[in-house]
């Protein structure tokens, strides 16, 4: 029988209507068909309710996302206004990271600048020389100062120019005696203060600044004696920065010399009155009028010649006309109306600092404001001092030092830097807080041999450890080595430079020098402890101690030049003119006439055409007619076979050079 098939009736669809729940956030009631079981209805209703809640949350999220304002970008770092005192940079340089922290800029910006602008890849710990530090500061238009440039002049003394309590009173003048070596500065002061220091100085040359207060005819005058040696330019400059009047000493039998010109420049830069003392008028050959003439050529015109510079002819050795000099000094001081507040906390400048094995750190301070008293708490740079003892230039103890008075102070924990300003604070806590803050700001990182990298394998890496008798001598020695520091042959770094004797710790530091670097331990006017000598012999470290700065400099430079790889130096021997070209067995032969000098087989030659260098080579042979010769002089004609160059043309010029192997000169010979 036929099977009849019938399509199955379609299953009833579930009628579900859900109203969008964007506004309410809740699912609407669902309608279920009557034939759906009660259990299935509950399960399905729960699932669909959860789905509706999810859609509602999603919708709210979208509404909030588009309704909310755009997220603000991260706030840029606020620009911090940096004061000049915050931007005092170490003169020996600093690392990239230290510079970034100092100027409050991201390290990445500084690294990017050097890579993009200079093509120089740097890392955070790479060392930047003074010039590169200045370049970065200039880029960000920052007002900065290096610590070896900190100045205190008569016209602008920083914190000394601020308003302070108390009434300003007249004070004695501070007079700096300047001039060329051996023109009689120290002798002039000796005669005035009736005490000699020149006999104890090496070579009769004053080796560091000394300050002396003398009283003549009831008037006090503080003199600052500056060294006459040309190596002490920085020390003479510091003397000019604290002075009220500059006395320029010029020998009548010698006239204007290099250091005389430097002294004039320093005095003009300090904007202080200048008085010229034409000294040694008692000597044979003295010509004061010629000295006046040479000074006028430097722009220093005598008042009796129509200028404004007082000039006094004296003889310091014979005590001739010194009263006239003092009269001019007192008159100039009265016209300047020098005043300072006495009843106030003391402030001034550090002229010099030394280290004594029995007394510790000693500093010569010049008081410029207030009164310095025994027991005061003072801060100079990052160094704290409790004034335990004050002595004058004669060695006598003083209890108070008023403005324009120079005293040697005992009580510094560490030797301050010459040129630093000092100021007295009420309590020890306040003084230490100021010193700690400065130390954090001026932190230069640990002492070590880092930063002695070199771009050339032929550059010698030299690390120097220097100990001196006084802080001012450090600046003088560094000044002498500035030309070596800039040499392309030597990568020089001052690992340590401090006053005091050479001790075990200095030798230990030298012995940590990495392989491939040369280290020198130098002493200037200081002592070497016995234990340091023994340690140096055990470690193989050489100590060199000197009393005269020129000997120190010449010895070190000679030792360095002897160890540098010799280089070629071309000495021109003659020239020739090519008149014809011939073919020889070994190539082209230049038929030439020797115009000047002599040509020798083996000499180097350079070929020039219309003033342009075309090539170079070596003289292989010289033919005079048919005969081979080793050399030929001017006026003769010959055939030159040149190894390394054959592209000759008539009219070419040939220059002949002798090749010599010489040691490089670290400094130019004057």
Measured CA to CA, the distance from residue 345 to residue 157 in angstroms comes to 16
Q: How many CB atoms lie within 10 A of CB 508?
A: 13
* Range in 29-38, 128-137, 424-433 with the lowest mean pLDDT: 29-38
Residue 578's pLDDT is what? 93
Predicted confidence at residue 3, as pLDDT, reads 41
Terminal Cα-to-Cα distance of the chain (whole angstroms)? 136
**pLDDT given at position 326:** 86
| pTM of structure | 0.51
Listed range (139-153, 428-442, 470-484, 584-598) with the worst mean pLDDT: 139-153
* Burial status of residue 641 (CB atoms within 10 A of its CB: 0-12, 13-18, 19 or more): buried
pLDDT of residue 637: 92
576 has pLDDT over 90 = yes
By mean pLDDT, which of 149-163, 529-543, 568-582 is the weakest? 149-163
pLDDT at 486: 52
Encode pLDDT of 520-543 as tens digits: 899 998 888 888 888 888 888 889
What average pLDDT does this structure show over 463-475? 82
**Could you tell me the pLDDT band of residue 516, with boundaries at 50, 70 and 90?**
low
Q: What is the pLDDT of residue 550?
A: 82
Which spans in 271-320 are helix H? 288-297
- 194-209: burial string, b at 16+ Cβ within 10 Å, e else: eeeeeeebeeebbbbb
- Compute the distance between CA of residue 549 and CA of residue 431 in angstroms, rounded to an integer: 37
pLDDT digits (tens, 9 = 90+) for 102-111: 888 898 899 8
pLDDT at position 152: 37
* pLDDT per position as a tens digit, 651-666: 999 999 998 887 666 6
Buried b (16+ CB within 10 A) or exposed e, 470-501: bbbbbbbbbbbbeebbebebbbbbbbbbebbb
pLDDT of residue 446: 40
Residue 400 scores a pLDDT above 80 = yes
Instruction: Name the pLDDT band for 372 (thresholds 50, 70, 90).
Output: very high
Instruction: Provide mean pLDDT across the span 479-486.
Output: 68
Higher-confidence position of 30 and 513 = 513
Q: What's the pLDDT tens digit per position in 591-623?
A: 999 999 999 999 999 999 988 999 999 999 999
Segment 70-99, tens digit of pLDDT: 444 444 444 445 555 557 787 778 888 888
Q: What is the pLDDT of residue 461?
A: 67
Confidence of residue 137 (pLDDT cuts 50, 70, 90): confident
3-class state of residue 549 by DSSP: helix
Question: What pLDDT sits at residue 670?
Answer: 46
- Band (pLDDT 50/70/90 cuts) for residue 560 is confident
Query: Which of 22-26, 373-377, 458-462 has the least mean pLDDT?
Result: 22-26
Q: What pLDDT shows up at residue 656? A: 94
């Amino acid at each position: 029988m036929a099977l009849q098939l019938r399509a199955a009736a379609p299953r009833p669809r579930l009628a579900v209507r859900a109203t969008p729940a964007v506004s309410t956030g809740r699912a609407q009631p669902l309608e279920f068909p009557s034939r759906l079981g009660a259990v299935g209805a509950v399960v399905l209703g729960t699932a669909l309710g959860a789905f509706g809640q999810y859609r509602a949350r999603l919708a709210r999220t979208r509404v909030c996302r588009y309704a909310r304002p755009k997220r603000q970008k991260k706030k840029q770092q606020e620009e911090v206004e940096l004061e000049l005192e915050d931007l005092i940079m170490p003169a020996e340089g600093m690392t990239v990271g230290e510079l970034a922290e100092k100027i409050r800029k991201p390290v990445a910006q500084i690294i990017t600048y050097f890579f993009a602008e200079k093509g120089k890849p740097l890392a955070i710990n790479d060392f930047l020389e003074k010039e590169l530090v200045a370049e970065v500061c200039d880029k960000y238009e920052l007002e900065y100062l290096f610590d070896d440039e900190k100045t205190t002049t008569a016209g602008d003394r920083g914190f000394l120019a601020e308003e302070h309590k108390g009434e300003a009173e007249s004070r004695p003048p501070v007079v700096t005696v300047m001039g060329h070596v051996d023109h009689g500065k120290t002798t002039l002061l000796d005669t005035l203060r009736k005490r000699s220091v020149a006999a104890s100085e090496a070579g009769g040359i004053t080796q560091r600044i000394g300050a002396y207060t003398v009283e003549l005819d009831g008037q006090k005058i503080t003199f600052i004696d500056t060294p006459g040696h040309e190596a002490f330019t920085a020390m003479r400059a510091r003397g000019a920065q604290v002075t009220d009047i500059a006395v320029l000493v010029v020998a009548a039998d010698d006239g204007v010399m290099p250091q005389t010109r430097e002294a004039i420049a320093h005095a003009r830069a300090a904007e202080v009155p200048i008085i010229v003392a034409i000294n040694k008028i008692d000597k044979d050959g003295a010509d004061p009028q010629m000295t006046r003439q040479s000074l006028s050529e430097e722009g220093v015109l005598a008042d009796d010649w129509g200028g404004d510079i007082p000039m006094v002819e004296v003889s310091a050795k014979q005590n001739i006309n010194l009263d006239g000099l003092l009269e001019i000094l007192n008159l100039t001081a009265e016209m300047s109306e020098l005043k300072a507040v006495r009843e106030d906390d003391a402030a001034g400048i550090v002229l010099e600092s030394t280290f004594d094995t029995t007394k510790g750190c000693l500093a010569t301070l010049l008081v410029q404001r207030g009164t310095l008293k025994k027991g005061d708490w003072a801060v100079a740079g990052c160094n704290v001092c409790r004034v335990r003892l004050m002595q004058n230039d004669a060695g006598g103890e003083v209890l108070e030092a008023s403005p324009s008075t120079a005293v040697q102070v005992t009580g510094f924990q560490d030797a301050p830097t010459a040129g630093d300003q000092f100021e007295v604070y009420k309590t020890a806590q306040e003084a230490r807080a100021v010193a700690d803050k400065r130390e954090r700001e001026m932190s230069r990182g640990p002492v070590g041999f880092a930063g002695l990298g070199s771009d050339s394998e032929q550059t010698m890496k030299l690390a120097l450890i220097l100990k001196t008798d006084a802080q001012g001598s450090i600046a003088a020695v560094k000044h002498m080595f500035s030309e070596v520091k800039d040499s392309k042959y030597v990568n020089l770094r001052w690992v340590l430079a401090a006053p005091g004797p050479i001790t075990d710790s200095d030798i230990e530091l030298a012995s940590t020098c990495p392989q491939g670097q040369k280290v020198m331990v130098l002493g200037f006017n200081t002592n070497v402890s016995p234990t340091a000598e023994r340690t140096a012999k055990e470690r193989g470290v050489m100590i060199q101690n000197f009393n005269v700065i020129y000997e120190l400099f010449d010895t070190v430079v000679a030792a360095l030049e002897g160890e540098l790889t010799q280089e070629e130096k071309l000495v021109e021997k003659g020239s020739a003119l090519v008149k014809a070209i011939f073919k020889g067995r070994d190539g082209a032969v230049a038929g030439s006439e020797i115009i000047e000098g002599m040509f020798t087989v083996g000499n180097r030659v350079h070929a020039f055409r219309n003033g342009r260098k075309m090539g170079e080579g070596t003289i292989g042979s010289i033919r005079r007619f048919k005969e081979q010769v080793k050399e030929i002089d001017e006026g003769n004609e010959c055939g030159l076979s040149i190894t390394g160059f054959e592209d000759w043309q008539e009219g070419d010029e040939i220059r002949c050079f002798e090749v010599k192997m010489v040691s490089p000169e670290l400094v130019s010979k004057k």
